[in-house]
Structure 1
């Protein structure tokens, strides 16, 4: 998808700034999910996106049960399921070893974490992990949002500044990337879903406290022949320095080529520029250590990028009529796939709060509940869980991991009750029920009083 998708291309009508009930800054997955849910409720939404089209960068790929339930509620699960594929969980492995034939075989499994029954084949909504590259999910959600008739999108448009954020509306200045022409847009509410470098957050002067991990990650999409079939095709390769996440981007078929994502940690002491880190020479050097199969490797690199990883949280997700969601609100390392899933659940909670305010006359203070509760989710679940996931793959030697880590020991032979307790926060904590919270604190709508 590219170009502008609305009728007047954002031009002022009768000299007045274009107005929408909700203005979403950022046309990636979180912004589009927010717009989709609002559009389905009959609320007019304008999305602005500084890129000329939706992004194809190698990013997230897996979605857990809570996000699946939300996808199902807004009617996109079936489309994602049709284009994607299901897996039963993930595992941790030792580094590949020599196979005695000049190649390498997969390293031994250290532990398995199933997200459904080991023999699951039906995969009801919320069972297992739903897999589809973020870029493809983005296209599906945007397409469904536009179909509501209440959502329009301007590509090549960036937020310059927030001119007014008081009372009952927000006025912003935006710029056309191609022409450099600036114009004003107004909205009742603004949602900043514009990523970790969020211009919205910066314009609001909201702090983004936390830290940046010392190493860079090298993300690659690799087309590779499948010489073996594994039951859990997503795994972490443990290593003190060059730990790796491996996951398929399409359903693996034995004896055929499959597109895989290999995300490999660079040495924190490696000061070479990004261009050298993503060179064929450097990537294949890493592939030699983390890929199984015959040698020489027959692999085609389809995409590559580097990025830094952070653990940061905005000091508030609300300032006046402006809100933050997704990476604009919080960022965490990718170990455990908690980042985009959390952003999707932000979109769910925020859109629900805005629907309650705009359609059911709940007080705007409901947005403070959104801010507080989603920050709590990050502070008490996403941040510590993703941090420990990352440390787990490089803090212990692979031969000592089970002995040293209670988590790995538990996964050797867990009881049903233990698995149930482990899964509980992924459903009960991760997703925020705004309506239930409003009832608990007796924040009622005048309509219902």
Structure 2
């Protein structure tokens, strides 16, 4: 039986969560005529700022999904460097020269996650007609399965009132993609010639300060060493942190805060990415701290890999076991590479001695050598990462 006449092994996938992972997965599957239903508990897209920078591996997946051009159009034109600074005096300790790859198609992607979600959703509407069905106000309350099918129980919110309708939706597979940072406007960054991304090293005021896209806004992510305070008490301490971290030590009235998210920093990973017909990807499967940009990038790579596995299975290029391979490989990558590297990134800014870290940190030693050789730095910035994995190598040839 040829590929045109064979019956696909499945016909219905439910994706829980209309965030970046869920919408990206739906887009990638729709490209190969695989239909999905995307369920979102909110009445609208989650357009909070969150991540702003996505490494080369994520850029490649965005291109596959057909959204990279629109992301580039909405982003800032140049993002020349990332550096590590000492908070005490603002001194730049070491930097990554991204201008070496500023014209390369695989260069880093820069745009707030909330804006990327809007682009993904628009592409779902424009390109996924008949294949992508996004349903808002659908809160998943339970997931179940037997040998032949999976299902989700949902509460469907009825418009503006508070009533809900309970329902059960069946599918061949259920994919969990439902898986937190201040944005500061302050013109002192250009005045003091700060880099696009600045990792701030200090035991009391560590964090990341980065341009978030067009419009002059910056994202400030910082840690507070004091434990057990209320949200209001943490916010009262914010001016102290920002005065220490921002160039020129500004007072509260010298900048404007556009948006704030409070969240706990932690790393965790589920025991299994796949149980029967229920599969997890992105934050639903694993979480890590924001230092280094591994969170969203790893989620994008999960989704890209899972899409390839479903595409191979759907079109007869692989058996169902490729879904188990996805679960094993992506979990191993998180535990072996993402988790330890993100913890090293956190410890580098939060627990290192800012006066000796340049000499004692192994990664900084590598950067110092790379900064002496432009070609070696280019290769480092564009290389295939150990957190990437090509599942199409397991297709039948």
Q: TM-score, normalised by structure 2?
A: 0.89
Deviations 1:225-263 (A, max 9, x none): 245263632111111122021011124xxxxx7211111
Q: Structure 1 pair 185/111, CA: closer, same or farther in 2 (3 Å)? A: same
Deviations 1:71-125 (A, max 9, x none): 112210000000012423411001154xxxxxxxxx11111123451xx54x222
Q: Name 1:37's counterpart in structure 2.
A: 28
SS at the partner of 2:266?
strand
Tell me if structure 1 keeps the 8 A contact 2:192–2:247. no
Q: Name 1:431's counterpart in structure 2.
A: 388
Tell me if structure 2 keeps the 8 A contact 1:67–1:345. yes
2:116 counterpart (121, 133, 137): 137
Q: Name 2:79's counterpart in structure 1.
A: 87
The CA deviation at 1:155 is 1.0
2:176 maps to 1:192: yes
Q: Which moves more between the two structures, 25-34 or 49-58? A: 49-58
Deviations 1:19-51 (A, max 9, x none): 961100011000110000111111111000111
CA distance in 2, matches of 1:57, 1:271: 25
SS at the partner of 1:166?
coil
Q: Name 1:221's counterpart in structure 2.
A: 183
Deviations 1:260-300 (A, max 9, x none): 11111011x3322012212xx42222211111137545111
Structure ranking higher in strand proportion = 1
CA distance in 2, matches of 1:223, 1:327: 28
2:254 maps to 1:306: no
The CA deviation at 1:179 is 2.6
CA root-mean-square deviation: 2.2
Q: How many residues align?
A: 377
The CA deviation at 1:134 is 0.4
Q: Structure 1 pair 65/36, CA: closer, same or farther in 2 (3 Å)? A: same
| 1:156-175 alignment runs, 5 A limit | 156-167=137-148, 169-175=149-155
The CA deviation at 1:410 is 2.9
2:239 maps to 1:284: yes
2:188 maps to 1:232: no
| Residue ranges of structure 2 left out of the alignment (5+ in a row) | 1-9
Q: TM-score, normalised by structure 1?
A: 0.79
CA distance in 2, matches of 1:308, 1:293: 28
Tell me if structure 2 keeps the 8 A contact 1:30–1:347. yes
Q: Which moves more between the two structures, 326-335 or 408-417? A: 408-417
Tell me if structure 2 keeps the 8 A contact 1:65–1:125. no
SS at the partner of 2:216?
strand
Tell me if structure 2 keeps the 8 A contact 1:20–1:186. no
Q: Name 1:12's counterpart in structure 2.
A: none
CA distance in 2, matches of 1:89, 1:319: 42
CA distance in 1, matches of 2:171, 2:83: 46
2:224 maps to 1:266: yes
SS at the partner of 2:71?
helix
